[in-house]
Amino acid sequence: MLAHFRSLRSTIVLTLIAIALLAGCGKHADESASSADHGQADAAKQAQEDAASTAKCADNPLAQALPPKHDIGGLPFRLWDCTPASIRAVYGKNDSKQVEISVTDTHPADTGTPAGSEDVNRRTRDMQRSVTRQAIEMLTAMTDPMQANAESFRALGGPDYAPVLVPTSTKDSFVIHVTAQSEVGPAEAVALFKDRHVVTLQATNQGSALTGLNTPQAQALFQPFIQQFDPERLPQ
């Protein structure tokens, strides 16, 4: 009788454990399904917002110069986002690598901004143009071995960390540059067209700046976008 009771008790305990495990599995399955549903809903909402943002920029004159709205360099087109004096295009998914192209017209025709605010914006754009011009002049000098001394190259980490010029269909070129080998920082491509339009390309990975690239790697990343950017279609 005692043996039978012990056997029955063991069976009850095992049954209760099994029920708890099954309930837990069901709970986790429900949570996983709920999480997946929320993820799909969030993705759908984000896609709608991205599409709406892109549609609002369709008439922006700067959009004409941007690369096409399809996969470039293995990265899918995501969105356009704009103001009357600027536009940016983003390629790549939110949770992975992205390339962002930004174009700013530092002499826009009319932004529709109140006079006081527009004066501040104008000074900001003038500063952006001036700083970009100076940076490009300095970086361009470093691409010429006749102007850049050996010590400068050693400080960067060698030729693989020196900036490079990428010609365009105009007299203005893009400059691709990275941080020195001993430093941690982002890569960037920058250009100033007609001493007016500031164009930059930057990369992120999971929301943070993509770092650790040398110049050949940065060029491989940015070149497909530069090749499909049309500076001749920027506003005159």
Domain boundaries, the chain: 1-56, 61-233
Judged on CB neighbours under 10 Å (0-12, 13-18, 19+), 41 is exposed
pLDDT of residue 1: 44
At 9, give phi and psi (nearest 5°).
-65, -40
pLDDT of residue 58: 96
pLDDT of residue 40: 78
pLDDT of residue 41: 79
pLDDT of residue 9: 46
Q: What is the number of residues in the chain?
A: 236
pLDDT of residue 59: 95
pLDDT of residue 103: 98
Q: Which residues of the chain have pLDDT under 50?
A: 1-22
At 229, give phi and psi (nearest 5°).
-85, 135
Residue appearing with tokens 């990265």: 75
pTM over 0.85: no
pLDDT of residue 13: 42
pLDDT of residue 36: 62
* C-alpha span between 65 and 62 (Å, rounded): 6
